[in-house]
Amino acid sequence: MSATSENELDPKQLNLWKKALLANEQGNWDYVVSLALPVVKDHPLFMQARVLLRRAEGERLKSQKKSLFGGGLGITMKSGAKKDPWEAIADLEENVFQKDPFNIKANQEFYDIAMRAGYPDLAAFALETIRLGHPQNTKLTHVLAEHYMSQDQPEKASDVYSAILKVDPRDMVAIKGEKDAAARTSIKQGGWNSGDFRSSVKDSAEQQRMERRNRQGMTAEQMQDYLQDLSAEYEKDPTNINTVRDLADLLEKMENLNDALGFYQYAVELNPTDVALVRKTELLQDKINDQAIARLESEIESDPSAPDIEERRAELAEIKRQRGAKAIEEAKGRVDRNPTDKAFRFDLGQAYFLAGMFGEAIPELQQARQNPSLRIKALLMLGRCFEAKNMNDLAINALSECVKEIPAMDNLKKEALYELAMVYEKVGKKSEYLDCLKEIYNNDYGYRDVAQRVESSYQ
């Protein structure tokens, strides 16, 4: 049995799924659970529904008294004892996770059942749920990292080890694990033989080079020595993809971005099927463009009467135009290849938004808000699109919804409140305008010009 996609749902389950997405947009967590649960039971490998279900259960738990649960809820049945793994998992969903989605014992049992049934990705979901609910429990997070390593997913393992080190920077096992995962990733991307990664290293010199490549915090002198070694290797064999990629990576670390980009582009020519390498090249090009844009904007602002000011403005406009066109083209391509992926829809909507194509951005962002992890950002950008088109009532609706769904007064909520205040001011609703600003003022006196705006209203 392979992972289930939305297109494989029967009409009845598809209807429930779409209703669950709509209920999710409205923050009706009880309804989301009631709709997504039967879909998950009938299609246990439909991961989108399982993720949405767990999120809704988690959001619902926030509004309840956590002292009743808190991860230590007793399990009165042994689901794994049932012969059918899907029935056992369904029992956990019905009897435990609806009340306590982050229950450690139940998720460990979920993991064991999924592994015995031969579904490691589903098993990883159980461990990721524990990680989400108990980020400080590094002991169990180590289990997740080891699981990814055992499943030849070193990139994911590296991310998990990094998360452990944020909690405990002195965790020596995580430090070593992160290095091993990085090395295994290099082997995997290089197309070397699988298995014990150290056995794939041809000799001790190559192993030392690998460790050198993944070493963090090299001094300027060490990087210069390493650059000389790599340059000598490149002269011997300029078609060695590993040498070319290492040169690009080192030059980027040395902030020699243009030369780094040249080597990354050459590496892509040598290995055009390496998606991660292509993406890395795109990101570095964006970084270079960002620096050029920042430099030109600074020069224009500091000396607006310079003799070549119009040339600089034209250069700035052309960089932005090319960047916007390329971003839209790339995002369109990803959407065409993966039309149901809401994250790619968000990327396309954002590319349209940054290019000032607000009408084109709106339908993409409306689809992207169905993704729980991108919903808030999509709503904020939707509000800005509506405001730019002078559709102020729709802007207020989107921004208000965005504000409601952010529980803590973080930077994103302050940004949404400020945008909402500006729209209220635009349409002459002074009371609502001040209410938004005062909410920010009570939490962050120094945010933008909020203090000036609020205090002037009393004069």
Residue where one domain finishes, among candidates 214, 239, 264: 214
Confidence at 171, pLDDT banded by 50, 70, 90: confident
* pLDDT score recorded for residue 320: 81
Neighbours of 29 (CB within 10 A): 19
* Cα–Cα nearest to 277, from 191, 371, 389: 191
| Full residue range of the structural domain in which residue 77 is found | 6-214
221 plus 134 within the same structural domain: no
247 plus 263 within the same structural domain: yes
From residue 300, alpha-carbon distances to 108, 162, 315 in Å are 59, 41, 11
26 plus 55 within the same structural domain: yes
284 plus 183 within the same structural domain: no
Confirm whether 55 is domain-assigned.
Answer: yes
Judged against a pLDDT cut of 60, whether residue 455 lies above it is answered with: yes
Confirm whether 42 is domain-assigned.
Answer: yes
Judged against a pLDDT cut of 60, whether residue 237 lies above it is answered with: yes
**What's the mean pLDDT in 42-68?**
79
Contact criterion met (CB below 8 Å) for 364 and 349 = yes
**What's the mean pLDDT in 8-19?**
86
230 plus 170 within the same structural domain: no
**Sequence-separated (6 or more) residues with CB below 8 Å from residue 428:** none
* pLDDT score recorded for residue 197: 44
Confirm whether 420 is domain-assigned.
Answer: no
Q: What is the rounded distance in angstroms from the CA atom of residue 224 to the CA atom of residue 159?
A: 28
- Could you tell me if residue 103 is left (phi over 0), alpha (psi between -120 and 50 degrees) or otherwise beta? beta
Confidence at 75, pLDDT banded by 50, 70, 90: very low
pLDDT tens per residue across span 104-143: 999 999 998 988 888 888 999 999 999 988 888 888 899 9
SS3 390: coil
Residue where one domain finishes, among candidates 163, 180, 214: 214
227 plus 165 within the same structural domain: no
79 plus 90 within the same structural domain: yes
246 plus 111 within the same structural domain: no
Confirm whether 303 is domain-assigned.
Answer: no
207 plus 257 within the same structural domain: no
Nearest-5° angle of CA 240, CA 245, CA 246? 100
Domain harbouring 175, CATH code: 1.25.40.10
Confirm whether 407 is domain-assigned.
Answer: no
Torsion of CA 30, 35, 41, 47, to 10 degrees: -90
* pLDDT score recorded for residue 217: 57
pLDDT tens per residue across span 435-454: 999 999 999 999 999 999 99
* pLDDT score recorded for residue 372: 86
Look over the chain and give the mean of its residue pLDDT values, rounded to a whole number: 83
Confirm whether 202 is domain-assigned.
Answer: yes
195 plus 56 within the same structural domain: yes
Q: 158-162, 425-429, 449-453: lowest mean pLDDT where?
A: 158-162
Judged against a pLDDT cut of 50, whether residue 194 lies above it is answered with: no
171 plus 261 within the same structural domain: no
% residues pLDDT > 70 (the chain): 88
Number of structural domains in the chain: 2
48 plus 85 within the same structural domain: yes
Looking at the chain, the number of H-run helices and the number of E-run strands are 23, 0
Tokens of 289: 């463009």
**Sequence-separated (6 or more) residues with CB below 8 Å from residue 39:** 9, 13, 16, 17, 20, 46, 49
* pLDDT score recorded for residue 380: 95
Look at 84 and 54; give whichever has higher pLDDT.
54
Confirm whether 373 is domain-assigned.
Answer: no
Residue where one domain finishes, among candidates 275, 295, 315: 295
Judged against a pLDDT cut of 80, whether residue 210 lies above it is answered with: no
Q: What is the rounded distance in angstroms from the CA atom of residue 314 to the CA atom of residue 399?
A: 35
**What's the mean pLDDT in 60-73?**
53
Q: What is the rounded distance in angstroms from the CA atom of residue 268 to the CA atom of residue 423?
A: 46
Confirm whether 405 is domain-assigned.
Answer: no
Judged against a pLDDT cut of 90, whether residue 281 lies above it is answered with: no
